């Protein structure tokens, strides 16, 4: 595999690292991709390097990274420890520097599919960290600047950010275990987590698919100077927009945030579509009467549960999948619904279908009237026309003007829907 390099916008290819190092302008290289190059050691990289991809090699140690490196991808190697081993000659022997932290200016770090057991030595201003499919057991030492964190496919049992400091006598664990306030996207799928906890209000996307979670809540702790206190409000983060908790052991839908747009709770033990919400009135915990799902919810998957009735759906829901449940009647569908799947249920009757529906999957199509079948076909043609003009910011179809704000239009841009689907 060739070594791809760049000096500013000029691309240069080399057959081997040895050939690259002999290049007269090697010290000016800012981008280097040596993926699949059979490299075993990281060494002699140019100090000018800003982006370095050494994925799919046989590297066992992270070492000798340039000081100003900003992007580092070492996916699919044999690395066991997060550290940046640096060596220098003191005139007598080779010395390893005490500070093993990754380069100070590193912003994106991908060490997925290695043999790492511990999160450590991350730089202070790191923004994107991907360590999925390693052997990590604890979330710890995350920098306060982190915005995107993926730790899926590990052996993590608890959502927390363990931080340590030296008090002059012994190593102490900070009482505040909350994840960084800056965190916006968090993927902890395929671990052994039992509780959703320690998230700040600013989290926007949460994927905890395939864990051992039994309850939808956000348990938050704070230190009042005497003991650890659990906050009464257990609602999910205020700004959460995408939430995937499929393939867990959840029995109730509860504590969803008002701003939620995409929600996947497939393959659980849920019996009812509702959003149980609790608040503290100063005397006792009270359940709100309104059980409807969040007002701004656009995509909802609840397949493979034990649901018997369609209810409490928000008015502007656009994609709804309730396949493989125990539903007997199609009813209470939102008027703005575009895609609906209810395969593998016990459907015997259908109430009025939404006028805008263009995708409808059901076991028994004979329950539909000829007029309803024709309407779905017509809507599907409209959708195909929209797909052809999706690169335009504004579109007009059947008298409806479409804009860039998904919270107000009836038919969403198809690319928005596709991106939402891909996230799950």
pLDDT tens-digit profile of 325-354? 999 999 999 999 999 999 999 988 888 888
- Write down the pLDDT at residue 176: 63
Collapsing DSSP to helix, strand or coil, 320 comes out as: strand
**Which pair of tokens denotes residue 41?**
């050691």
d(CA 152, CA 210): 10
Residues of the chain with pLDDT under 70: 87-98, 163-176, 220-233, 278-289, 385-424
Largest CA distance in the chain: 90
Distances (CA, A) of 169 to 99, 141, 173: 21, 20, 13
Inter-helix orientation angle 370-388/414-423, to 10°: 90
d(CA 379, CA 139): 48
Collapsing DSSP to helix, strand or coil, 165 comes out as: strand
Buried b (16+ CB within 10 A) or exposed e, 90-122: eeeeeeeeeebbbbeebbbbbbbbbebbbbeeb
Can you list the pairs that 84-91 forms with residues at least 24 positions away whose Cβ atoms lie under 8 Å? 84/121, 85/61, 87/63
In degrees, rounded to 5, the angle at the alpha carbon of residue 253 between the alpha carbons of residues 250 and 257 is 125
Q: How far is CA 210 from the centre of its chain?
A: 13
R_g of the chain computed on alpha carbons: 26
d(CA 140, CA 118): 8
For the chain, the straight-line distance linking the first and the last C-alpha, in angstroms and rounded, comes to 33
- Torsion region of 412: left, alpha or beta (phi above 0 gives left; psi -120 to 50 gives alpha): beta
* CB 147, CB 126: distance < 8 Å: no
- Write down the pLDDT at residue 160: 86
Going by C-alpha positions, the residue among 374, 346, 378 that lies closest to residue 362 is 346
In degrees, rounded to 5, the angle at the alpha carbon of residue 256 between the alpha carbons of residues 241 and 180 is 60
Q: Which residues does 326 contact at the CB level (< 8 Å), separation at least 6?
A: 306, 307, 308, 345, 346
Ordered by where they begin, the domains of the chain are 1-136 (3.80.10.10)
d(CA 127, CA 162): 18
- Write down the pLDDT at residue 231: 55
d(CA 182, CA 200): 8
Q: Which pLDDT tens digit goes with each residue over 175-206?
A: 567 889 999 999 999 999 999 988 888 999 99
Q: How many CB atoms lie within 10 A of CB 87?
A: 11
**Which pair of tokens denotes residue 56?**
């799919």
d(CA 367, CA 165): 66
Going by C-alpha positions, the residue among 304, 356, 310 that lies closest to residue 331 is 310
CB-based burial of residue 213 (10 Å sphere; 0-12 exposed, 13-18 middle, 19+ buried)? buried
Q: Is the dihedral of CA 363, 384, 303, 313 positive or negative?
A: negative
- Write down the pLDDT at residue 246: 96
Q: What's the whole-model pTM score?
A: 0.83
Going by C-alpha positions, the residue among 45, 44, 82 that lies closest to residue 60 is 82
């Amino acid at each position: 595999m060739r070594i791809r390099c760049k000096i500013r916008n000029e691309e240069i290819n080399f057959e081997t690292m040895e050939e690259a190092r002999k290049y007269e302008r090697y010290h000016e290289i800012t981008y280097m991709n040596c993926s699949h190059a059979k490299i075993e050691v990281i060494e002699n990289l140019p100090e000018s390097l800003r982006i370095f991809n050494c994925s799919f090699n046989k590297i066992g140690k992270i070492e000798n990274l340039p000081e100003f490196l900003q992007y580092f991808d070492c996916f699919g190697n044999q690395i066991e420890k997060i550290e940046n081993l640096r060596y220098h000659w003191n005139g007598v022997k080779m010395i390893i520097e005490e500070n093993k932290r990754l380069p100070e200016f590193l912003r994106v770090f991908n060490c997925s599919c290695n043999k790492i057991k511990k999160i450590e030595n991350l730089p202070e201003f790191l923004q994107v960290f991907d360590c999925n499919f390693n052997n990590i057991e604890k979330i710890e030492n995350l920098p306060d600047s982190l915005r995107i964190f993926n730790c899926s496919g590990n052996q993590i049992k608890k959502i927390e950010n363990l931080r340590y400091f030296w008090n002059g006598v012994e190593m102490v664990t900070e009482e505040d275990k909350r994840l960084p306030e800056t965190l916006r996207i968090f993927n902890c799928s395929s671990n052994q987590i039992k509780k959703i906890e320690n998230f700040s209000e600013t989290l926007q996307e949460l994927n905890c698919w395939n864990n051992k979670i039994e309850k939808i809540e956000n348990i938050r702790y704070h230190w009042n100077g005497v003991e650890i206190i659990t906050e009464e409000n257990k609602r999910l983060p205020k700004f959460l927009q995408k939430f995937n908790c499929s393939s867990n052991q959840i029995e109730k839908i509860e504590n969803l945030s008002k701003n939620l747009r995409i929600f996947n709770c497939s393959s659980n033990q849920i019996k009812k579509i509702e959003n149980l919400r609790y608040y503290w009135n100063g005397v006792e915990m009270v359940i709100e009467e309104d059980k409807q799902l969040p007002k701004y919810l656009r995509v909802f998957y609840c397949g493979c549960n034990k649901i018997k009735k369609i209810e409490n759906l928000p008015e502007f829901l656009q994609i709804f999948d309730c396949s493989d449940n125990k539903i007997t009647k199609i009813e209470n569908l939102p008027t703005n619904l575009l895609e609906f799947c209810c395969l593998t249920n016990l459907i015997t009757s259908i109430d009025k279908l939404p006028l805008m529906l263009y995708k409808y999957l059901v076991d028994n199509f004979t329950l539909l009237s000829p007029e309803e079948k024709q309407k779905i076909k017509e809507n599907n043609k409209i959708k195909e026309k929209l797909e052809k003009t999706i690169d335009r910011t504004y579109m007009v179809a059947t008298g409806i003007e479409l804009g860039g704000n998904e919270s107000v239009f009836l038919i969403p841009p198809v690319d928005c829907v596709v991106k939402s689907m891909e996230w799950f």
